[in-house]
Structures are given as structure tokens and as C-alpha cells.
């Protein structure tokens, strides 16, 4: 991953945020690569970097590579190819090969059995030139092989040496005609590419390109907290590594109907991948502005970035307005402290309303004392009230229901009736007070049971 994309990636971003589900087979390249480079076991921490000469008398320091993941391994091989390009080794090799071919032509033009001394001298000189150019050509390709070895850590270096010896300096391999060859392949640019591919197969499978294609088109999704632009840059970076992956098409027994997968996406396919990974709101906004599907990834990313910025600004403004409204009202409605304060306020209001009702509603305390009729016409006036009194009528006449009897019995009857009436009034008043309190406080309270008192009537003996 480049330094720019690392800078744009959110802190702590993980692969599960960028994948629709866990891949059934581990892909060779993950959306979020390993960030910390851990040294391989057996690698000396004090390994010093090597200095490589480039063109125009420039140098480059290279730290021997230890395996981390497939992506870093591919970048390590790409760095080797970059150094070869800067040193112009392939160009120098082609020049030496051309000089060798020219010398071969001149040598073939002179017969080895010629008697002319000048021709013999000229043929000998061309043979010497051919040998010199051959050694230079072989030295150039050997330098490319040695550079790859020096750029590797000890563990990878041992694997590389075994691969080179097996592939370049052994016999018994199948040639173009599918026959065993008794010659060595030797070191050239073709065998260098083969050796690098065999070295790559030690860290990934033969179907790495097919798995990568499945991962890119099915598994990957855009993380919610990653903008469109860095998401596209990361996709493009992964897509550029696809041609370097091993493919089933390179196997000798691969069926002819299998398509090659170690190729980069077309611009149209990249646009389709981007549109599948944006949100529905962004896709709707884009479709409102365009009537055809996109075909240019760069222009598409620019337009999607503008739409994304607009939608994010709207969300931010709405959030700010909500925060201001909540701050003006006090604490947020959903906070625990807000709910507690509301409960305390409700309790305080209920107590205040109860006190207000208690102050306004006055309980009558005046009760008629004694019986006026008994006080006027005779009898124990202080023991009972005038209400429902059945001995005297106003004017001093006897009550028609009066049957006589002992004074104490009459007094008890009047006393019981007056007390019962007073308690009934008191219970009715308390009931009305409770109803008013329950209405004002908004709470239901259980009704108190009324105490029933049975009136005991005693008959006077004739």
C-alpha cells in the first residue's frame, strides 16, 4: 500500500469492514494489508541495507526483504524489476546479443579451412569478439539474478538458490515438443521470469488470480467511514497487481475454455465495481444527473466525490441543528440524567399541587354541640345532637315515635346516630379529596375502603 493511501485510511480500519462476508478461501490480496512489517524467523535484526547502483551514477539503498504477505512480496518483485529498468540491463543485454549475432554472421562467412592468412586472422578476431560479447551478455543476466538474491532475506535467499539451480542448471525438462531435454535452460530473461514466478508460488496458490478476481467483484465493499476517492485508489492499486499473480491458464493441463484471470480490469468494469459499492443515496443522485452508465473511472470518482461531500454536509448541518435544539432545551432527551430530572420535577409538582389543594379545601370542624330540644324541654342535652332526635318535636310536643324508655337508652341512640352521621360525612369528604389529588397528580391511587358501621337501634319498652 502506498503512503498516500495509508494516510487516507481511517485509523483502525479492518478487513471485516471492507468485506461483505468472510471469504471462503483466503484471497492473495486483502483490502487492508498488514501495516507492521514483522521480520521473519531467523532474520538478523542487524542486517544492513545494500547499496544498488542505478543509472547516471545514482545509488539506492535496499533492505533485504522478509516475507510479510503476498502484496508485499509482489512489491518486492516489482522493486527488483524497477531497479533493472533503471540500470538499463535489458537494453545492454540486447546490444550484446546483437553484437554476438553480427559476429556469428561474419564468422560463418569465412570458411574455417581457408588458406588466406587475412581471412584466418579476421575469422579469429570475430570469434574472440563473439566470446567477449557473450561473456558480457551472460554477466548482465547473472547480475539480474544476483540482485534478486541480494534483495532477499536469508530464508528467501535459500529458496531462491534452490529454484535457480533446479530450473536453470538441470536437465530432463520438457521442451516445446514435449520431449525430455538433455540441455540446461541457462540464465536469460525468460528463465528469470520463470524463477520469479516459481518463487511467488511458494507464498501463494496456483489459482491466486482466480481468487483475486472473485474477491474484487464479489467480496469487497466500501467501508462506511472511507470516502469514495481513497476507496477507488485502493481498488486501482490492487487491480494493478493482478497481472503478477499466478493463473490457472499458465498450467500445462489447463482446459482451453478457461479464461485468463491475471489481467487488469477494463475502465468500464471498474466503473461498474464503483457503482455497486456506493450508497443508494449517492447512486440516486448520480442517476438524476446522467442518463447513461459511466465508462470513465476518473470522471466518475470526481462526480461521486462531489455528491458524497454534499450529502455529508447536509447530514452535518442537520446534526448541528439538532444539537443546538437539545442544548437549548437542556440535556438530551435520551440521557439518564434527563429522565431523572423529569421524575424529580413530577414529584415536586405533585407535592405542590397536594399542598395547594390542602390549603384551599378546608375541612369543616364545627359540629353542633348538644340537643336544643332536650336543653329546652328536658333531657341530657350534652350527650347527643338534635339531628334525628325522636323524643321532642319543636314546640315541646312529644315525638310520635317516642315509646319511652330509659334516658340512657335514648341518649345512646342519639349519640350513636350523631357519631355515625359525622363519620359518614368525614368519609365522604376524604373520598372527594382523594379523587381531586389523583386527578391533579396524574397517578392512580387505591381507594380506601370505607368502614361500614351498622346502626344499632334499640326499642324502648312500653
Of 26, 22, 3, 15, the closest CA to residue 226 belongs to: 15
Helices (H), 278-384: 280-289, 297-329, 336-360, 372-377
Q: Tell me the residue ranges of DSSP E strands in 23-155.
A: 50-53, 59-62
Are the beta carbons of 222 and 18 closer than 8 angstroms?
A: yes
Banded model confidence at residue 435, pLDDT cuts 50, 70, 90: confident
Predicted confidence band of residue 346 (pLDDT cuts 50, 70, 90): low
> What residue has cell string 545492454?
92
Q: Is 164 exposed, middle or buried (0-12, 13-18, 19+ CB in 10 A)?
A: buried
Looking up cell 399541587 gives 353
Tell me the C-alpha distance between 27 and 217, whole Å: 12
The pLDDT tens digits of the residues spanning 27-61 come to: 999 998 776 444 444 444 445 788 888 887 888 89
Given the C-alpha cell 518463487, which residue does it identify?
199
Which tops the pLDDT comparison, 402 or 351?
402
For residue 341, pLDDT over 80 is answered with: no
Sign of dihedral through CA atoms 115, 116, 119, 120? positive
DSSP letters, 395-446, are: TSPBPTT-----HHHHHHHHHHHHHHHHHHHHHHHHHHHHHHHHHHHT---P
Q: What is the mean pLDDT of residues 431-436?
A: 82
Average pLDDT on 11-26 reads 88
Q: 219: which 3 cell numbers?
A: 467480496
Average per-residue pLDDT in the chain? 80
- Which candidate, 416, 25, 60, places its Cα nearest to that of 208? 25
Measured between alpha carbons, how far is 100 from 126 in angstroms, rounded to an integer? 9
- Assign 326 a pLDDT band (cuts: 50, 70, 90): low
Place of cell 364545627: 366
Question: Cβ(374)–Cβ(391) under 8 Å?
Answer: yes
- The pLDDT, as a whole number, for residue 295 is 93
Residue 178: pLDDT above 50? yes
Q: Which three cell numbers stand for residue 293?
A: 452508465
230-286 pLDDT, tens digit per residue, is: 999 999 999 999 999 999 988 888 888 889 999 999 999 999 999 999 999 999 999
Q: Are 222 and 228 in contact (CB under 8 A)?
A: yes
Looking at residue 43, what is its pLDDT?
44
> What are 60-75's pLDDT values in tens digits?
899 999 999 999 999 9
Structural element, H or E, at residue 78: helix 70-87
CA distance 323 to 331: 10
Cβ–Cβ under 8 Å, residues 32 and 15? yes
Is 140:93 a contact under the CB 8 Å cutoff?
A: yes
Checking if the pLDDT of 186 tops 70, the result is yes
Q: Which of 150-159, 237-246, 307-316 has the lowest mean pLDDT?
A: 307-316
Which one is predicted more confidently, 112 or 347? Answer: 112
Amino acid at each position: 500500500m502506498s503512503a498516500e493511501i495509508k494516510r487516507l485510511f481511517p485509523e483502525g480500519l479492518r478487513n471485516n469492514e471492507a468485506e461483505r462476508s468472510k471469504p471462503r478461501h483466503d484471497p492473495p490480496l486483502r483490502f487492508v494489508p498488514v501495516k507492521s512489517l514483522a521480520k521473519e524467523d531467523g532474520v538478523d535484526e542487524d542486517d544492513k541495507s545494500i547499496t544498488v547502483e542505478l543509472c547516471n551514477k545514482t545509488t539506492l539503498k535496499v533492505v533485504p526483504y522478509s516475507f510479510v504477505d503476498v502484496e508485499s512480496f509482489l512489491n518486492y518483485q516489482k522493486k527488483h524489476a524497477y531497479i533493472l529498468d533503471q540500470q538499463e540491463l535489458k537494453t545492454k543485454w540486447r546490444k550484446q546479443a546483437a553484437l554476438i549475432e553480427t559476429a556469428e554472421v561474419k564468422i560463418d562467412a569465412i570458411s574455417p579451412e581457408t588458406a588466406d592468412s587475412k581471412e584466418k586472422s579476421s575469422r579469429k578476431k570475430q570469434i574472440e569478439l563473439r566470446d567477449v560479447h557473450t561473456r558480457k551478455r551472460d554477466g548482465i543476466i547473472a547480475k539480474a539474478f544476483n540482485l534478486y538474491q541480494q534483495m532477499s532475506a536469508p530464508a528467501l535467499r535459500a529458496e531462491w538458490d534452490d529454484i535457480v539451480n533446479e530450473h536453470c542448471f538441470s536437465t530432463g525438462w520438457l521442451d516445446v515438443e514435449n520431449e525430455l531435454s538433455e540441455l540446461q535452460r541457462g540464465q536469460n530473461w525468460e528463465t528469470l521470469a520463470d524463477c520469479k514466478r516459481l518463487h511467488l508460488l511458494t507464498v501463494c496458490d496456483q489459482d491466486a488470480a482466480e481468487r483475486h478476481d472473485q474477491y474484487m467483484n464479489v467480496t469487497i465493499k466500501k467501508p462506511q467511514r472511507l470516502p469514495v476517492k481513497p476507496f477507488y485508489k485502493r481498488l486501482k492499486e490492487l487491480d494493478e497487481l493482478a497481472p503478477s499473480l499466478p493463473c490457472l491458464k499458465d498450467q500445462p493441463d489447463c482446459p482451453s475454455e478457461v479464461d485468463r484471470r491475471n489481467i487488469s480490469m477494463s475502465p468500464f468494469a471498474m466503473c461498474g465495481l464503483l457503482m455497486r459499492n456506493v450508497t443508494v443515496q449517492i447512486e440516486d443522485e448520480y442517476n438524476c444527473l446522467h442518463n447513461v452508465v459511466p465508462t470513465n473511472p476518473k470522471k466518475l470518482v470526481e462526480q461521486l466525490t462531489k455528491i458524497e461531500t454534499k450529502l455529508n454536509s447536509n447530514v452535518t448541518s442537520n446534526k448541528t441543528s439538532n444539537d443546538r435544539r437539545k442544548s437549548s432545551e437542556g440535556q438530551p432527551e435520551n440521557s439518564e440524567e434527563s429522565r431523572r430530572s423529569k421524575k424529580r420535577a413530577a414529584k415536586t409538582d405533585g407535592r405542590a399541587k397536594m399542598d395547594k389543594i390542602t390549603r384551599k379545601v378546608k375541612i369543616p370542624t364545627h359540629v353542633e354541640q348538644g340537643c336544643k330540644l332536650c336543653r329546652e324541654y328536658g333531657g341530657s342535652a350534652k350527650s347527643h345532637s338534635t339531628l334525628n332526635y325522636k323524643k321532642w318535636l319543636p314546640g315541646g310536643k312529644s315525638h310520635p315515635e317516642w315509646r319511652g324508655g330509659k334516658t340512657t337508652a335514648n341518649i345512646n341512640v342519639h349519640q350513636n346516630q350523631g357519631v355515625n352521621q359525622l363519620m359518614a360525612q368525614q368519609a365522604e369528604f376524604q373520598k372527594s379529596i382523594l379523587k381531586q389529588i389523583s386527578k391533579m397528580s396524574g397517578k392512580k391511587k387505591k381507594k380506601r375502603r370505607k368502614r361500614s358501621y351498622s346502626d344499632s337501634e334499640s326499642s324502648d319498652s312500653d
